[in-house]
Structure formats: C-alpha cells, structure tokens
Copies of this chain bind each other. A is one copy, B any other.
Amino acid sequence: MAAPPVRPLELVPRFRNQGYAADDVAARRAWIEARAGVSLPLVAAFTIPSEQMRGNIENPIGAVQMPLGLAGPLEIHGEDARGVFYVPLATTEGALVRSYERGMVTLTRAGGVFARVLRDENVIAPVFVLEDAAAAVAFADRVVGDLALVKADAESTTAHGRLLGITPRPCGRDVIVEFHYETGDAQGMNMIAAATDRACQGLVERHGPARFLQFSGLSSEKRASGALLAGGKGKTATAAARIPAAILTSHLHVSAAQLEDTWRRSVIGHLHAHSVGFNAQYANGLAAIFIACGQDVANVANAAVGVTDFEVIDGGDLHVSVTLPALTVATVGGGTALGTSRECLSLLGCGGSGRARKFAEIVAATLLAGELSMAAALATGEFAAAHEEYGRNRPGADAPERETSR
C-alpha cells in the first residue's frame, strides 16, 4: 500500500444547495465526462425533474434506464389485493419476464393465488454497552419496566410509526434491545432509526449506561440470517395455490409428482449448502419488482429469505406456497414517488397510503409464480433451452398466444 499522496484530492464538484438544479446535474456530468474521457448521452437523457431527486440521491449526474416488461395476468385473492394484476418487472436478464408470466398464467388459469400478510412490523435493534454483565442484566430488567416512557419518546419523533414492544437481550456486558414497530405504508427504516435514537437517549438519561450504538446487526436489515426466519422483519407474507393436474400438464408440461420431486432434490441441495431457507428464484422477482416500483433494492438481501413448498395433493394436483418472513416493502417514502416508480405502483393500484399490504400480497403472489415456473423448467429439463431462446439479442419464435384464444 502506497504512502498517502501529497496532492489534493479531486472531489466530485459541489454546487449551491447540493446541486440538484438541472444545470448543476449537467455540469457535474460534464465534469466526469471530461475527467474520464467518456460520453454519457443516455445517462443525460432522463426525464425525472432533477430537483425531485433530492432526498433520493447525492451528486446526481442523470439516471440509468432499465428495460421494463409486463407479466400477467395474475389473479390474486388477497385480503387487500383482489383481482387480476399485470406486474411491471425491470430487468436485463432475458427469459425472466417470460418465466414469471408463464407461472402467472398457470396460477390464474388454476383459479388464482391465495395471499395474506400474516404479520406487519419492522424491527431495529440498538445495543447498549454496560460496565459488566451484572450491570447489563440489571439494565435489561429496568428497560422492561420502562416501556411507557420508551414508547412516548419513540413516537414523539414520528406521525406514522407506532412502537409495538421492546425486548431486551443481555449478551455479555452488552444489552441488545429489539424495538418492534408498525410503520404503516413506509419501509420505515429511517423513521424507526430516528425514533429509536430518541428512545435510546432517554434510556441512557434515565438508567445511565454509558453509551449505545444504533444498530447491533441483530435485526438483519439488508442481510440474510436465521433470525429473519425466526422473527421476521417488515411484512411476513404468504402466497399459495392449488393447481389441478390437467392445468400443470397443459401449461407447464409437467406433473405434480415431477414438481414435488424437483423440490425434494433441490431441498437436499439447499440443506447441504446450509442455505438460509429454500427458494428457487425469489431474488430474481424481488429485484425486478423492487427496481420497477421504487423499493429499496438492497432489501432484496433480507426479502429473499423464505421457504417455498411444493406438494402433491388429492392424488395428482399440486399445492404450492411461498412463506416470506422479511418482505420489507413500501408504497410511500423512499423512491416510491419518483418518476417511473410512481407509475409502476399506480399500474398495480398501489400508489400512496394504505396500499403497502396490498403491494406485499402482489409481490408474494409474483414470487409464487416464479417458483412454479422455475421448478417446471427444471423438472422438464427446459431451463437451459429457455435461456438459450430468450437470453439472446435476436428474433426467435413468436411467443405462445394460445391462452388468448381459449
């Protein structure tokens, strides 16, 4: 490693008010074009008003574009999501949209998807450092008795978040305290980070431990962990369907027994990998819908934890389900109001307040479609062939249109 340079560093250019004016964005982009010797005409060709980027990005130089496709029809029988949906998916992975579409058509033909949000709370887990383990245990005891004040402090910072409970957990001389919140339709991490910061300051004032850190890592935000399966994070959602044998055959060229066999063999592989949960391609669907709909895409890391199950029932039909303990989604806040995100959410009837549970049900049903389609492709050996056909930049055979004429 070289010695520190003596020359000044060249920062990305600064502008008044942090540089969200269109001219500032252009100037910043021109600076990097000149410095790197490249030309960025497509980055420049964005249509989001640059001032609207404030709060979503710093040092903006434009926008990236990612192709947007449509998969459906997806009939959902949720508590909030009811009806037939066409889901916007942003991706550059050929065959992905076709794969989800195929699953959706099959599910819809079979009568649709049952979907539910089973639990809805977000968790944050700061850690307090005490003098020793004895002090830590004593502090944990006091925290439990202090809920009313903790709640008052936390909720004083937010109009939307509600503190549901706290769970202190002594770990040596540390005490990790889990704060459980209801965050309404927002993903809510910034909201609950601020609320918890205030509450922790109050705890320090009243009970005198030396200090705390805002995150201990226990809550597994943007990470995969066993704790997500055990305790959840954000919305815990499920989606499931029963599919008659005849529809499996006609739409997926597969039997329920083949799908169950594929599931069992994949489960064995997952167990030997010590994977977190079991799934075929949650991350594909999550990334595509999160990018389209202005979600925090890094949350794919936690949201992709769950368990998919395939089972033969009634002598040849299929029951298929996904259980998603950490589906952190939002319809307000973050990138949800920004340009194409708002349009994509509106396409699903999920723009704005009161829609987060509906959106969660749609996401869960979408993932179910992906699991079904992927398992069928594996079971029939079509996977490689499908990617050969769709994953290349050349015209191929027309897509099947059979369904429309049925």
Contact = CB atoms under 8 A, between A and B. Distances in A.
Contact of A43 (B239, B247, B283, B340): B340
A380 to B, nearest CB: 10
A174 to B, nearest CB: 6
Total copies of the chain: 4
19 contacts: A1-B114, A1-B134, A2-B77, A32-B86, A35-B86, A38-B347, A52-B393, A55-B94, A56-B93, A58-B390, A59-B70, A59-B97, A92-B335, A197-B381, A216-B266, A222-B282, A225-B275, A272-B277, A291-B297
Contact of A68 (B64, B86, B307): B64
Contacts of A194: 384, 387-388
A217 to B, nearest CB: 3
Interface string A170-194: 1111101000000000000010011
B14 A399 contact: yes
Interface string A1-38: 11111001111101011101000000010001001101
Interface in A337-390: 338-341, 343-344, 346-347, 349, 378-379, 381, 383-384, 387-388, 390
B9 A137 contact: no
Q: Which of A92, A173, A279, A404 has the largest count of B CB atoms less than 10 A from its CB?
A: A92
A1 B273 contact: no
Nearest to A46: B65
Interface string A64-99: 111111111101010000001010111111111110
B8 A406 contact: yes
A279 to B, nearest CB: 7
A158 to B, nearest CB: 12
Nearest to A116: B137
A53 B339 CA distance: 21
Contact of A9 (B109, B193, B335): B109
A155 interface: no
A298 B297 CA distance: 10
A157 to B, nearest CB: 9
Nearest to A340: B64
A300 interface: yes
A52 to B, nearest CB: 7
Contact of A91 (B3, B39, B56, B223): B56
Instruction: State the majority secondary structure of interface residues on A.
Output: mixed
Interface in A93-118: 93-98, 101, 105, 108-112, 114, 116, 118
B111 A323 contact: no
A33 B54 CA distance: 28
Given A11-B401, A190-B388, 14 more contacts: A1-B111, A1-B112, A4-B247, A11-B73, A38-B346, A54-B394, A55-B391, A92-B334, A172-B311, A213-B262, A214-B378, A230-B230, A288-B297, A301-B301
Nearest to A278: B271
A11 B297 CA distance: 28
A64 B66 contact: yes
B93 A335 contact: yes
B275 A217 contact: yes
B67 A48 contact: yes
Contacts of A39: 343
Given A77-B2, A347-B38, A277 B274 contact: yes
Contact of A267 (B217, B276, B401): B217
A61 to B, nearest CB: 5
Given A173-B319, A218-B269, A92 B341 contact: yes
A143 interface: no
A383 B197 CA distance: 9
In the A-B complex, list the 3 residue pairs whose CB atoms are closest, starting with the nearest. A226-B226, A92-B335, A133-B240
B46 A59 contact: no
